[in-house]
Amino acid sequence: MHGRGGEHGESFRCVGCRLDVSVTAPGTAHRNHCPQCLASLHLDARIPGDRASRCRGRMTAIGLAVRPDGEWLVIHRCLSCEGVSANRIAGDDNPLPLIRLATRPLADPGVPVRALLAL
């Protein structure tokens, strides 16, 4: 994995709750969602952190998934283009919205979670 060089001090304003979020976080190389409300922006195209998407729509967390290696992922869906992505949770994500997601079945059974987990 790549280090954190050059990313220091970078932050973004959460589209959901307006929190100023630092992109560096424990447990993830590149945080892209808000630790408070889990909202995100559609910036990445294929690989988390690639910032290759032109969409920039608001992404909302719709579910949680656990990879075979035990890693937890938040499933985000873009409200603009319906794109779905899976992102590692960060060490300081607020556990409350995570638990709410974990105890709720995926709202849309058509979400290709299996395909995402194969990444």
Residues 7-33 as b/e (b if ≥16 CB within 10 A, e otherwise) read eeeeebebbbeeeebebbbeebebbbb
Residue 66 phi/psi, 5° resolution?
-120, 125
Nearest distance from residue 68's CB to Zn ion, in Å? 28
Q: Output 36 or 60, the one with its CB closest to Zn ion.
A: 36
Under 8 Å between Cβ of 57 and 76: no
Nearest distance from residue 94's CB to Zn ion, in Å? 9
DSSP 89: P
Q: Output 2 or 46, the one with its CB closest to Zn ion.
A: 46
> Where does this chain bind Zn ion (CB under 5 A)?
14, 16-17, 19, 34, 36-37, 39, 42, 55, 57, 78, 80-81, 83
Q: Output 17 or 99, the one with its CB closest to Zn ion.
A: 17
Nearest distance from residue 37's CB to Zn ion, in Å? 4
Q: In sequence order, what are the beta bridge partners of 61? A: 76
Q: Output 49 or 83, the one with its CB closest to Zn ion.
A: 83
Nearest distance from residue 2's CB to Zn ion, in Å? 24
Q: In sequence order, what are the beta bridge partners of 96? A: none
